[in-house]
Amino acid sequence: TQVFNFSSGPAVLPADVLKQAQQELCDWQGLGTSVMEISHRSKEFIHVAEEAEKDFRDLLNIPSNYKVLFCHGGGRGQFASIPLNLLGDKTTADYVDAGYWAASAVKEAKKYCVPHVIDAKITVDGLRAVKPMSEWQLSNNAAYLHYCPNETIDGIAIDETPAFASDVVVTADFSSTILSREIDVSRFGVIYAGAQKNIGPAGLTLVIVREDLLGKAHAACPSILDYSVLNENDSMFNTPPTFAWYLSGLVFKWLKKQGGVAAMEKVNQQKSELLYGVIDRSDFYRNDVAKSNRSRMNIPFQLADSALDKLFLEESFAAGLHALKGHRVVGGMRASIYNAMPLAGVQALTDFMVDFERRHG
């Protein structure tokens, strides 16, 4: 049976990329060694690093006044980096709360400032939704605004393009949605994403930061979290996660070959419509997020009869559909369908769901 992996992260990688990495593992570029075993300062690795940055910039159409940093520390590292780099002499920042990860960012920010929390969670016709951006009440003394455009656990997305006053520094946690759809980078001050969902292996975190925001880090900011230090050292102040960087570079090349982000966006729309369609057409399955805020990347769903959950998971696993168990705080099921999940994988899942309902409904 072909296996399709619906893990929320670390998550599926393109099969072609894994094959290439496997072929190159022990003898990379004829060097007789793997890319993991060479110096990050070697000309060979620097070439890998530069190519990866160039391709990432191309894919997201990143303007030249933005720096791209390849960091350690994951999404949670950035929960600290953002206040440590951007607060300056301010003591507060606006934090929009629309789910688990946005709330986790608030918790970390409290170590460094007094966050002004904008609770954007609403219910529309009994469905979970998010207040439109025009209703976010920003404070007038905030150093920046932070939000999470895709809540990996809640299955909630905020797809609106920020259009705030030009002096509002918008920062956003794109960990589970980066490169899945086109975005206008120029509307943001900082965009960050852990690599392990939509990019590559865990251990690498991508940060896109507008140049004029550099140089304001708190005196106590650890150097490895300081955007200016990372920038001045081409993201090699300390030894970077070289293998994750290399593999992410292969993923960027793969994405370009697929037609780039616009092409991925189309497929991602098709995949998510297919899955939501099956959920919505039946009383056996349910997703309780309003259509306007449904995530295309992480789709939680419940069985009407939760007594069948265990059987669903056993049978789906046996059918090659892995990692469908919902997050422990939500329960039920969750299918994460990042860029590397082919349409055929979602088709296999929906075929299974329809058949499971026929047999147990």
Chain residues binding ligand PLP by CB under 6 A are 9, 74-76, 101, 148, 152, 173, 175-176, 194
The reply to whether 125 belongs to the active site is no
Pick 152 or 293: Cβ nearer ligand PLP: 152
Catalytic residue among 28, 55, 97, 197: 197
Least distance (Å) from ligand PLP to the CB of residue 122?
A: 20
| Active-site pick, 55, 94, 173, 226 | 173
Q: Which is nearer to ligand PLP, 56 or 147 (CB)?
A: 147
Token readout for 343 is 């349409």
C-beta nearest to ligand PLP: residue = 74
**In Å, how far from its chain's centre is CA 66?**
19
By C-beta, is 75 or 200 nearer to ligand PLP? 75
**Would you say 176 or 350 has its CB closer to ligand PLP?**
176
Q: What angle do CA 240, 243, 248 make, to 5 degrees?
A: 95
State the Cα–Cα distance between residues 53 and 268, nearest whole angstrom: 24
Q: How many CB atoms lie within 10 A of CB 146?
A: 29
Q: Quick one: 189 or 312, whose CB is closer to ligand PLP?
A: 189
User: Please, which residues have CB within 8 angstroms of residue 249's CB and are 6 or more apart in sequence?
Assistant: 48, 49, 51, 52, 55
User: Which residues fall in the annotated binding site?
Assistant: 8, 41, 75-76, 101, 152, 173, 196, 238-239
**Contact residues for 42 (Cβ-Cβ < 8 A; gap 6+):** none
- For ligand PLP, which is the closer residue by CB, 76 or 131? 76
Active site residue 136: no
Strands 190-194 and 170-173: parallel
Amino acid letter for position 56: F
Q: Are 238 and 224 in contact (CB under 8 A)?
A: yes
Nearest distance, CB of residue 149 and ligand PLP, angstroms: 9
d(C-alpha 106, C-alpha 115), whole Å? 7
Residues linked to residue 94 through DSSP beta bridges, in sequence order: 116, 145
In eight-state DSSP terms, residue 327 is: P
Active site residue 19: no
User: Binding site for pyridoxal 5'-phosphate: which residues?
Assistant: 75-76, 101, 152, 173, 196, 238-239
CB of 13 to ligand PLP, least distance (A): 16
Q: ∠ CA(234), CA(69), CA(209), 5° rounding?
A: 120
3-class SS shares of the chain: helix, strand, coil, % to 5: 40, 15, 40
Minimum distance from residue 141 beta carbon to ligand PLP (Å): 26
**Phi and psi torsions of 294, nearest 5°:** -80, 135
- Give min distance, CB of 179 to ligand PLP, in A: 14
CB of 218 to ligand PLP, least distance (A): 20
Q: Which of 101, 154, 226, 245 is catalytic?
A: 101
Amino acid at 65: N
Active-site amino acid positions: 101, 173, 197
